[in-house]
């Protein structure tokens, strides 16, 4: 199996180059074939992943570029996020099939390059290789928003690029310092390096600058609504589905295990920002008139559950955060597709223009409802598992955090149901909206596939949690000593977390 | 003596070549310009082949006045290649306007002799002679388009300010000589090291640095750069932005490390100031520029700032990073200027506005893609190759315990990213402007494609080739 990761990275790049030399339709088929090939490779990866085996699998190491190496490898967390990316990509290509009409070849090429950069981030085992993939993803996304975006696309593309660039530049200096201190660029070795406490503080902040922007956390989230609104549908899907996860992945992979003391020291900074995000952006989402903007703000709120879960310093929180990342990737991607479906028909994202869609688009209404519920966190969907676990984690960390974070669920239900009510229920306000045809085959396949996975994740989350469990063990073993003081009485029984988590997931499985 | 002459073989080849070609030009007139250009390129290649210090250890000639070590060899080869590319660029450009003259390649050759002496200088006087030879040729080149007012103005401006800088430099040289008792870098270093840096030595050091800072166009001695770059004929600008920059930076590096090593603490502050001022001003001032040549002028100031961060590190990694940076910088800059040379309207007149690039991705996709690669690369965005030298420079700064400098420097690179993005935005996002006239200049097309390939991610494959050379060259100074 050695070499499969490189193969997964190579397939989209080769296809991207091919795309530039064929007709528009040829480019569509090449892109679809390449993304499906990567999906198949991803599934092969999953099937061959040895749960409970060594922490890093499918390892490749090739010292190529003098100071760092072509080092690839995945653990369970990276495996799941890689799968999420390769799963969403063919759907993105399908979503752009007819809605992108100009410069199709370049569009498909940009998307394929994007795919390589995204999965490269999850696979990189060399810190500088990670940085290169992390940063390089900006270029194709910048072009996707700027060329194929909406009316205000140029502003949005600049904002996206510069925000994320400034964030990650400081991270590079921190990485240089770390490599200089530890004498290695390999992530697995850096993960076990104990950096001095004083340095951890600054390194943590530098990484935080990058990941918080990418995540995005309040108050540096403002690029996201702009980018989402202006990006073409598939761009929004990939932005919400995968790019936002890079921040969460960064926290789990770098900030927490590499700087546990600083993470504990700055516990309240993260929690404060996350809680503000949950309450504030949920309220902002409530008053949006633009569908994409509403979902964009809801993403900020959901991502705050991820940061709360990760920095809760306990197993439930971290596992919950990981599941939220996966389920939000699917659900918000699907919601943007839902918006895209009706946008393609009416060319407006204004909520007011729609209404009563359940009459003329029943299949659409059903799927949209499912994703709305998943976003709210209804039991039986992946959203519930993730948010429930991270809230348990939050309560264990500090009851105040848990209490405020839970309001996010209520607010989430409010803005999502309000959105669904205005779009799908009632009588249609406009004749053209009432005349829209239901989903076509291509759209049905895309949304239907995501719906199945969302339900799978809600009913039997163990499939997704199992590969990651051992990595969370490793992570917990590394950070436990640094955990900040908690007001929870449970904290004294150290063996409880593992049992509780197993119990929770088993209980969900039994219930639904 | 024979040994000394052998070590100066590239300079001898260039000088003899320049004089011989001057005679050909005198008798053959401008009709021979094309042939002379290609012969001059051959002479530059021959000089590059015979550079001592690459395959052998090199050596010191004329009792220390002239140093032909691996550091000089690396810089010289870079300078000669850049000069040769500058010549290739010039042929196609001038011949369209019909005022290409046979003196042009001769002047480039003479300038290259001067640059070779600059990077090999082991003595303040060799330094001065080399610098002046290079500068005098450059003044003439700047005003080469005699019928164009802007070109004449650029030449005059360059000359007046350049003469001022030379004066400052000479004053510093005389102070250093007076207070240390020698003009040899080695002796100066010994004198600076024995009893601390006296006030007189400090003055000399500051004046010398200021004079050289003018040549590398580091802020606050950069004022001439945008005007001269804009006014000079574009191929000359391409030349100015590449070869003389390399030579001046190599010179500054050798002087700072070899000649002023014991005074590192003193000059480091100056270099750090110039570095940050250059990256910031080179970023901010470029934002509003509507002229692509002025923008690239500020871009070169910006890049010099990053190179100076490597110098501020004052360690082996820093010097290797400087050399690597210059190798990539030369390719990126020449590549961008080669694209600018292609900017001609329907009537075949050169255009310089950024607005005329609008929608280039649709009218000339290949050219736009190449330019986009140069711009992303200049901005230092991975995976393009321009990221790598920036990475090395910041790495060197971190290793020298200047983490704060690396952090501030890297933050300023976001400013410059903005205007590089602006060009990409113009080419890719905007509606097409009238298309440029087609060009059938094959050598230029080949060069643009080669440069674009070099700055593409494929460039990383060149690291194993360049890195050992740069490291070896850097170790010659320590």
pLDDT tens figures, B417-442: 888 998 998 888 888 888 888 877 88
Q: Kindly provide the ipTM of the predicted complex, given to two decimals.
A: 0.89
Determine phi and psi for B56, rounding to 5 degrees: -105, -175
Residues in B whose CB is inside 8 Å of some CB of A read 361-362, 376, 381-383, 387, 391-392, 394-395, 398-399, 403, 406-407, 410-411, 413-414, 417-418, 421, 424-425, 428-429, 460, 463-464, 467
Mark yes or no for CB contact A166/B411 under 8 Å. yes
The residues pairing with B291 across neighbouring beta strands, listed in sequence order, are B353
Q: What percent of chain B has pLDDT over 70?
A: 99
- Subunit contact B382:A157, Cβ cutoff 8 A: no
Residue B425 to residue A64, Cβ atoms within 8 A: no
Q: For chain B, what's the residue count?
A: 478
At B338, list the tokens.
């080669």
Which pLDDT score, from 0 to 100, does residue B166 have? Answer: 93
DSSP codes joined into one string, B377-430: HHTT-TTSTTHHHHHHHHHHHHHTT-HHHHHHHHHHHHHHHHHHHHHHHHHHTS
Please tell me the distance in Å from A329's CA to the nearest CA on chain B.
26
Contact A176 B376 (CB under 8 A): no
Tell me which of B382, B399, B464 to substitute to probe the interface with A (most A C-beta atoms closer than 10 Å): B382
Domain assignment present for residue A493? The answer is: no
Contacts of A67 in chain B (CB under 8 A): 392, 395
Tell me the pLDDT band of A512, cut-offs 50, 70 and 90: very low
Name the residue of chain A whose CA is nearest to B395's CA: A176
Overall average pLDDT of the A415-440 stretch: 82
Residue A488 placed within a domain: no
Evaluated on CA atoms B276, B281, B287, B293, the torsion sign reads negative
Distance CA B142, CA B29 (A): 21
Query: What is the mean pLDDT of the segment spanning A448-475?
Result: 88
Instruction: Collect all residues of chain A within an 8 Å Cβ-Cβ radius of residue B399.
Output: 180
CB A368 within 8 A of CB A420: yes
Give the pLDDT band (50/70/90) at residue B97. Answer: low
pLDDT number for residue A506: 47
pLDDT (average), residues A416-437: 82
- What integer pLDDT is reported at residue A166 of this predicted model? 86
The pTM of this model reads 0.90
- What number is the average pLDDT over the span A220-245? 87
Nearest to B428 among A131, A133, A146 (CB): A146
Chain A CB contacts of B464 under 8 Å are 65-66
pLDDT, average across residues A86-93: 91
Tens digit of each residue's pLDDT (9 = 90 or more) over A64-74: 766 778 888 88
Contact A214, A243 (CB under 8 A): yes
Residue B173, pLDDT above cutoff 90: yes
Q: Is residue A396 part of a domain?
A: yes
Confidence category of residue A122, pLDDT binned at 50, 70, 90: very high
Select from B381, B392, B399 the Cβ nearest to the Cβ of A139. B381
Contact A135 B381 (CB under 8 A): yes
Take residue A88 and report the two structure tokens written for it: 């969403």
- Across residues A453-482, what is the average pLDDT? 87
Q: What angle do CA A191, A195, A196 make, to 5 degrees?
A: 165
* Residue A100, both tokens: 């992108």
| Distance from C-alpha of A290 to C-alpha of B272, rounded to nearest angstrom | 49
Residues of B in contact with A131 (CB under 8 A): 382
The pLDDT score that the predictor gives to residue A491 is 46
pLDDT band at B98 (very low <50, low <70, confident <90, very high): low
% of chain B exceeding 90 in pLDDT: 45
Mean pLDDT (whole number) for A280-303 = 89
| pLDDT confidence band for A488 (50 / 70 / 90) | low
User: B279 vs chain A: nearest CA distance in angstroms?
Assistant: 15
Number of C-beta neighbours around residue B452 at 10 A: 26
- The pairing of beta strand B66-68 with beta strand A57-65: unpaired
Nearest residue of A to residue B414, measured between CA atoms = A166
**pLDDT of amino acid A489:** 61
What pLDDT is attached to residue B95?
A: 63
Per-residue pLDDT at A65: 67
Residue A64: its H or E element: strand A57-65
Contacts of A139 in chain B (CB under 8 A): 376, 381
Residue A509 lies in a domain: no
User: pLDDT of B31-41, one tens digit each?
Assistant: 888 889 999 99
Residue A494 lies in a domain: no
- The Cβ-side half-sphere exposure at B425, using a 13 Å CA radius, reads 18
Whether residues A158 and B418 touch (CB distance < 8 A) is answered with yes
A486 falls within a domain? no
Average pLDDT, integer, range A290-316: 89
The mean of the pLDDT values for chain B is: 89
**Tens digit of pLDDT for each residue in B237-295?**
999 999 999 999 999 999 999 888 888 888 999 999 999 999 999 889 888 889 999 99
HEC sequence for A69-127: EEEEEECHHHHHHHHHHHHHHHHHHHHCCCCCCCCHHHHHHHHHHHHHHHHHHHHECEH
Higher pLDDT, residue A493 or A13: A13
* Look-up of token digits 């040769």: B84
Q: What is the mean pLDDT of residues B62-84?
A: 91
pLDDT at B78: 93
- What's the mean pLDDT in A207-224? 88
Residue A490 is predicted with a pLDDT of 54
With respect to residue A507, please indicate whether it lies within any of the assigned structural domains: no
Question: Residues near A356 by Cβ (< 8 Å), separated by ≥ 6?
Answer: A424, A425, A426, A427, A428, A429, A433, A434
Say if residues A9 and A45 touch (Cβ distance below 8 Å): no
Pairing of strands A68-74, B59-61: unpaired
Number of domains forming the structure of chain A: 1
Domain encompassing residue A159: 4-480
| Average model confidence (pLDDT) across chain A | 86
User: Token digits for A272?
Assistant: 């404060």
**pLDDT at position A66, please?**
66
Q: Which residue has the tokens 């003479």?
A: B110
User: Rounded mean pLDDT of A346-353?
Assistant: 82
DSSP string, B55-111: SS--EEEGGGTEEESHHHHHHHHHHHHHHHHHHHHHHHHHHHHT---THHHHHHHHH
pLDDT at position A364 is 87
């Amino acid at each position: 199996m050695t070499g499969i990761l490189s193969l997964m990275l190579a397939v989209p790049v080769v296809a991207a180059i091919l795309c530039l030399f064929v007709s528009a339709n040829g480019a569509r088929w090449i892109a679809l074939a390449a993304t499906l090939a990567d999906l198949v490779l991803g599934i092969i990866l999953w099937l061959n992943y040895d749960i409970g085996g060594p922490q890093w699998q499918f390892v490749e190491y090739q010292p190529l570029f003098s100071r760092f190496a072509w080092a690839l490898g995945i653990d369970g967390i990276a495996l799941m996020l890689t799968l999420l990316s390769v799963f969403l990509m063919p759907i993105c290509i399908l979503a752009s099939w007819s809605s992108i009409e100009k410069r199709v070849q370049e569009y498909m090429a940009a998307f394929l390059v994007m795919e390589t950069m995204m999965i490269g981030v999850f696979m990189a085992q060399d810190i500088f290789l990670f940085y290169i993939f992390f940063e390089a993803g900006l270029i194709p996304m910048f072009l996707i928003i700027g060329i194929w975006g909406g009316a205000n696309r140029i502003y949005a593309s600049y904002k996206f690029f510069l925000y994320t660039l400034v964030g990650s530049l400081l991270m590079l200096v921190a990485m240089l310092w770390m490599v200089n201190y530890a004498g290695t660029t390999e992530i697995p070795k850096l993960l076990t390096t104990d950096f001095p406490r004083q340095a951890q503080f600054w390194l943590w902040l530098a990484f935080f600058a990058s990941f918080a922007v990418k995540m995005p956390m309040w108050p540096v989230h403002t690029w996201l609504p702009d980018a989402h609104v202006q990006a073409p549908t598939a761009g929004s899907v990939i932005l919400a589905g995968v790019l936002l996860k890079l921040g969460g992945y960064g926290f789990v992979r770098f900030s927490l295990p590499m700087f546990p003391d600083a993470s504990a020291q700055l516990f309240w900074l993260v929690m404060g920002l996350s809680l503000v995000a949950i309450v504030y952006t949920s309220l902002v989402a409530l008053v949006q008139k633009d569908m994409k903007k509403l979902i964009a703000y809801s993403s900020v709120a959901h991502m705050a559950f991820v940061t709360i879960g990760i920095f809760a310093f306990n197993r439930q929180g971290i596992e919950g955060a990981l599941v939220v990342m996966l389920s939000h990737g699917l659900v918000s991607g699907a919601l943007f597709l839902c918006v895209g479906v009706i946008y393609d028909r009416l060319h407006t994202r204004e909520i007011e223009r729609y209404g009563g869609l359940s009459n003329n688009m029943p299949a659409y209404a059903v799927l949209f409802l499912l994703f709305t519920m998943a976003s709210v966190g209804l039991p039986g969907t992946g959203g519930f598992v993730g948010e429930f676990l991270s809230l348990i984690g939050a309560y264990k960390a500090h009851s105040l955090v848990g209490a405020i974070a839970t309001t996010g669920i209520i607010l989430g239900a409010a803005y999502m149901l309000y959105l669904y009510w205005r779009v799908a229920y009632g009588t249609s306000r406009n004749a053209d909206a009432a005349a829209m045809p239901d989903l076509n085959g291509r759209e049905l396949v895309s949304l239907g596939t995501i719906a199945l996975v969302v339900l799978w994740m809600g009913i039997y989350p163990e499939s997704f949690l199992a590969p990651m469990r051992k990595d969370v063990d490793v992570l917990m073993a590394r950070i436990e000593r640094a955990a900040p003081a908690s007001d929870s009485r449970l904290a004294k029984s150290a063996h409880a977390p593992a049992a509780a988590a197993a119990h929770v997931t088993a209980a969900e499985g039994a219930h639904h | 003596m024979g040994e000394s002459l052998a070590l100066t073989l590239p300079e001898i080849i260039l000088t003899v070549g320049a004089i011989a070609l001057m005679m050909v030009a005198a008798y053959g007139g401008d009709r021979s310009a094309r042939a002379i250009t290609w012969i001059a390129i051959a002479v530059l290649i021959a000089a590059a082949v015979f550079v001592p210090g690459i395959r052998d250890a090199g050596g010191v000639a004329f009792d220390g006045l002239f140093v032909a070590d691996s550091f000089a060899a690396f810089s010289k080869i870079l300078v000669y290649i850049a000069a040769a590319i500058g010549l290739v660029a010039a042929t196609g450009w001038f011949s369209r306007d019909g005022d290409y003259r046979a003196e042009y390649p001769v002047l480039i050759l003479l300038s290259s002799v001067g640059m070779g002496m600059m990077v090999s200088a082991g003595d303040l006087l060799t330094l001065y002679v080399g610098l002046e030879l290079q500068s005098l040729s450059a003044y003439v080149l700047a005003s080469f388009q005699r019928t164009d007012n802007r070109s004449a103005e650029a030449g005059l401006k360059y000359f007046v300010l350049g003469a001022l800088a030379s004066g400052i430099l000479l004053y510093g040289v005389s102070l250093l000589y007076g207070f240390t008792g020698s003009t040899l870098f080695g002796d100066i270093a010994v004198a600076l090291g024995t009893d601390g840096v006296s006030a007189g030595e400090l003055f000399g050091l500051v004046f010398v640095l200021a004079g050289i800072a003018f040549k590398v166009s580091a802020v606050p001695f950069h004022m001439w750069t945008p005007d001269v770059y804009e006014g000079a004929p574009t191929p000359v600008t391409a030349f100015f932005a590449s070869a003389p920059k390399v030579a001046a930076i190599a010179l500054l590096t050798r002087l700072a490390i070899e000649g002023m090593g014991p005074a590192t603490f003193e000059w480091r502050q100056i270099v750090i100031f110039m570095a940050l001022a250059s990256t910031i001003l080179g970023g901010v001032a470029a934002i509003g520029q509507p002229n692509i040549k002025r923008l690239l002028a500020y871009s070169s100031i910006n890049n010099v700032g990053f190179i100076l961060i490597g110098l501020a590190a004052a360690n082996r990694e820093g010097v290797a990073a400087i050399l690597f940076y210059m190798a990539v910088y030369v390719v990126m800059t020449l590549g961008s200027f080669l694209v600018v040379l292609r900017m001609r309207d329907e009537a075949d007149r050169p255009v310089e506005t950024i607005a005329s690039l609008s929608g280039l991705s649709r009218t000339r996709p290949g050219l736009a893609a190449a330019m986009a690669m140069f711009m992303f690369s200049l901005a230092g965005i991975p995976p393009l190759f321009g990221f790598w030298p920036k990475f090395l420079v910041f790495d060197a700064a971190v290793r020298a315990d200047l983490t704060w400098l690396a952090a501030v420097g890297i933050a300023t690179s976001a400013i410059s990213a903005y205007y590089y993005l602006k060009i990409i935005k113009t080419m890719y996002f905007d509606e097409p402007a009238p298309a440029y006239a087609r060009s059938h200049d094959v050598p230029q097309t080949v060069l643009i494609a080669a440069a674009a390939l070099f700055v593409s991610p494929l460039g990383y494959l060149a690291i194993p080739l360049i890195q050992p050379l740069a490291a070896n060259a850097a170790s010659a100074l320590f």
